[in-house]
Amino acid sequence: MTHSTRRDFLKTAGCLTIGFSLFHPYGEAMAAAAQELPGSLRRYPDINAWLQVLEDGRVRVLTGKIELGQGLRTAVAQVAAEELELGMEQVSVTLAETGVTPNEGYTAGSMSIETSAMAIRHAAAAARQQLLALAAEKLQAPAARLEFAGGRVSMPGGRRSLTFAEILDGRELSGTIRLPLPLKAKQDYTLSGRSIPRQDTRQIVAGAPVYVHDLRFPGMLHARVVRPPAYQAKLLGYNEQAVRAKAPDLVRIVVNGSFLGVIAPGEYAAIQAQEALAENARWSDAPPLAGGDALPAYLATLPVRTEKVREKGQPISGGASLQATYFKPYIMHGATGPSCAVALYDKDQLHVWTHSQGVYPLQGALAEMLELPAERIHVKGVPGSGCYGHNGADDVAAEAALFAMALPGRHVRLQWSRQDEHGWEPYGSAMLMDTAAVLDAGGRITHWQYELRSDTHSTRPGGKAGNLLPARYLEKPFRELQGGYNAGAYRNAEPYYDIPNQHLTAHFFEGPLRVSALRSLGAYANIFAIESFMDELAEKAGKDPYDFRLMHLEDKRAIAVLQKLRDITPAKAPHPGSGIGIAFARYKNSAAYCATAAQVRVDDKGGRVEKMWAAIDAGEAINPGGIINQTEGGMVQAASWTLMEQVRFDAKHVTSNNWYTYPMLQFGQAPATEVAVIQRPEERALGAGEAVQGPAAAAIANAVYHACGIRVRELPILPGKLKQR
């Protein structure tokens, strides 16, 4: 695999479009025309920003998003093929790459379908219009009478036809996408709305080279980083002679301030050199980490910055009908494959292959850290092995870049170890949630009060070096950026129920561990607390858990997912010692609707989830099978978080540095799953990738209560918490 500029990329592809500037200064008229365009088209309203028509009639789709296992590559191919009347085999997809694809920021927030896929749908519709118009000229026939299918445009009856290449005849397919734009009628869809299998699944199952971890280049070297014993420890020195005596194949020791690492000809040789250097390096002491022994109590003592998020109606006065406190610990991404990147610095150009979720923001952060112009940094997105959120992908890419610049002309591959991944990735923040509510005589909620404590929920680089891990250890260190995306802490903190009086307050602290975005951000903890509390309120009001929620809902689509869940879920648990719990939320209160149920069995060994159900409404489902896959995976992941996962640490550093000290559900422990997708083709497509996390947690906790009568409000639900039965 070699790097290509956009110009070279288009040449070798045999593309009949021209290049475009990703930084084109559109004027006021252009901005006005783009105001109603969907998603990323508002910034890139040119057809050839999204599509390339190749000489053989196939179409290449360009998306600024990255494949995370959510099936994006297949979904965007579906919408393009649909509008252009092509078969799936006639569409290929190029993922995020600087200078080649549009800058769509991060692949995050379950927004890829809403932004990138809808942009591609409109670009394909505009391309169809242009191809029809050009064909009408050549065939001397009205465009409305022409037939469009399989990469050809034909006269009625097939008397004459032209391929896309013949239509274009060397001219470019370009121009501005403007509204109104005729899209294909949804009742005529043949691809969108179908569960087309992911095109990369067969390769993954067969162990084919799919991931960034699989990249190999001629003469490639391997690197490893030597970590300090604590976040703030500084390098005092090392004994190079002793290291070389133990690692004779060592190519180079790379040191820049407190950033320390090795380069060797092979991966095992790099590990040997890393171990030798770690034994012969000296570090300063660092301030101790606090809170490892009693985290909820410690977090409650931290100074906070307070934000009033929601103030509707009157606060609670005269006492609440019920109040409770809930807790979620630090949890990690725990990617199956540790973070990995490859970098090459050659002829004053830096090339980086990475599974970062934002190639353009990473490009900007690298430019600042390395003091290089952004145009001299090429970043290509390559899928990684498993992660929804900001794990170590950006950090390992930055470290690989440092190694490559220390040894120009050679590809350098850096893969983190399991200890690197577990011990140094940014975690999902621990959170405390205090809830209180008042019920009237009829069992309706009249007042709701909610206060949460949390660290930030995203410290992605965002074009700045300060949030890249190695940048903090350089000789000229970059200060960690403060604040981050605080609003992520109160994602879904406002209940999606009709409650006349609501007061929501967020308190932000700076906790002891490094944190950032993890799947669903604060929604997981907030929905766990809200929906657990709704179950407690239902019991206090003497109501059925379904009926209690339904009596507080006005949104018909929300009501429909709960009713659908009730239809597919057993009315009661099948055997003694088991229970069924439910939960509902609309992700971000603006994206997909999801209702979830869990069947849990509790015995003297603890609790285990036997089966989970979900009903989900994501509007127009481009690929229902993809939604089912994401929802099933989300339920299993949330079950693991809820039952087992928590990051532990002592006064020096994180101690959960392997799968024994940070256990998660194994294959044999995963529950059976069943998902019902409510297809609404008349509605806009909604993000679905993170919708199930919070409801799944609450459904499990509620099921535990119904199984054994123990209400667990502090996650995870470890076996010891169920021994009171």
- List the one residue out of 512, 462, 453 whose CA is nearest residue 486: 453
**Kind plus residue range of the DSSP H or E element containing 674:** strand 672-677
Q: Tens of pLDDT along 139-169? A: 988 888 898 888 889 998 777 888 888 888 8
Q: Are 395 and 335 in contact (CB under 8 A)?
A: no
Residue 284: count other Cβ atoms within 10 Å of its Cβ. Answer: 13
CATH of 6-192, one of 3.30.365.10, 3.30.499.10, 1.10.10.10, 3.50.50.60: 3.30.365.10
Residue 19 is classified by DSSP as P
Give me the architecture of the 431-463+480-722 domain, per CATH: 2-Layer Sandwich (3.30)
| 44-51 mean pLDDT | 92
Same fold, 6-192 and 216-285+333-424: yes
Of 145-159, 209-223, 275-289, 527-541, least confident by mean pLDDT is 145-159
Q: Is the pLDDT assigned to residue 9 strictly greater than 60?
A: no
The helix, strand and coil proportions of the chain, stated in percent and rounded to the nearest 5, come to 35, 20, 45
Grade residue 22 by pLDDT with cuts at 50, 70 and 90: very low
Q: What is the pLDDT of residue 199?
A: 76
**Tokens 């009315």 sit on residue:** 571
Q: Tens of pLDDT along 456-492? A: 999 999 999 999 999 999 999 999 887 788 899 999 9
475 CB burial (10 A radius; 0-12, 13-18, 19+):
exposed
Q: Tens of pLDDT along 384-415? A: 977 789 999 999 999 999 999 999 999 999 99
Q: What is the pLDDT of residue 53?
A: 84
Residue 714 is classified by DSSP as B
Q: How far is CA 388 from CA 117, 134, 334, 502, 577, in A?
A: 19, 43, 10, 31, 34
The dihedral sign for the CA sequence 436, 438, 444, 447: negative
Q: Tens of pLDDT along 567-616? A: 999 999 989 999 999 999 999 999 999 999 999 999 888 889 999 999 99
330 vs 511: CA distance, rounded Å: 10
Grade residue 529 by pLDDT with cuts at 50, 70 and 90: very high
610 vs 87: CA distance, rounded Å: 40
Percent of the chain exceeding pLDDT 70 equals 95
Classify domain 216-285+333-424 at the CATH topology level.
Aldehyde Oxidoreductase; domain 4 (3.30.365)
Q: Are 526 and 452 in contact (CB under 8 A)?
A: yes
Grade residue 26 by pLDDT with cuts at 50, 70 and 90: very low
Q: Is the pLDDT assigned to residue 308 strictly greater than 60?
A: yes
Q: Is the pLDDT assigned to residue 19 strictly greater than 60?
A: no
Q: Residue 237: left (phi > 0), alpha (psi -120 to 50), or beta?
A: left
721 vs 37: CA distance, rounded Å: 52
Grade residue 723 by pLDDT with cuts at 50, 70 and 90: confident
Q: What is the pLDDT of residue 724?
A: 58
Strand order in the sheet with 59-62: 51-53, 59-62, 91-94
Q: Tens of pLDDT along 57-101? A: 789 999 999 988 888 899 999 999 999 999 999 999 999 999 999
180 vs 338: CA distance, rounded Å: 46
511 CB burial (10 A radius; 0-12, 13-18, 19+):
buried
Grade residue 23 by pLDDT with cuts at 50, 70 and 90: very low
Extract the tokens encoding 287: 């301030």
- List the one residue out of 582, 693, 688, 692 whose CA is nearest residue 645: 693
Please name every residue paired with 569 in a beta bridge, in sequence order, or none if there are none: none
Phi then psi dihedrals of residue 676, to 5 deg: -110, 120
Q: Is the pLDDT assigned to residue 14 strictly greater than 70?
A: no
Residue 252: count other Cβ atoms within 10 Å of its Cβ. Answer: 15
Residue 1 is classified by DSSP as -
Phi then psi dihedrals of residue 253, to 5 deg: -95, 130
Percent of the chain exceeding pLDDT 90 equals 77
State the helix-helix crossing angle for 359-370 and 393-406, rounded to 10 degrees. 40
Q: Which residue pairs from 136-144 have beta carbons closer than 8 angstroms and sit at least 24 positions apart in sequence?
A: 138/162, 138/166, 138/167, 138/169
Q: What is the pLDDT of residue 594?
A: 98
| pTM for the full predicted model | 0.92
Q: What is the pLDDT of residue 169?
A: 81
Residue 723: count other Cβ atoms within 10 Å of its Cβ. Answer: 10
Q: Is the pLDDT assigned to residue 173 strictly greater than 90?
A: no
Q: Is the pLDDT assigned to residue 207 strictly greater than 70?
A: yes
How many CA atoms lie within 13 Å of 482's alpha carbon, on the beta-carbon side?
4
- Domain spans of the chain, in order of start: 6-192, 216-285+333-424, 431-463+480-722
356 vs 384: CA distance, rounded Å: 8
Mean pLDDT taken over the chain: 91
Q: Is 87 helix (H, G, I), strand (E, B) or coil?
A: coil
| 549-559 mean pLDDT | 98
Q: Tens of pLDDT along 687-698? A: 899 999 999 999
Q: What is the pLDDT of residue 163?
A: 87
Phi then psi dihedrals of residue 293, to 5 deg: -85, -35
703 vs 596: CA distance, rounded Å: 11
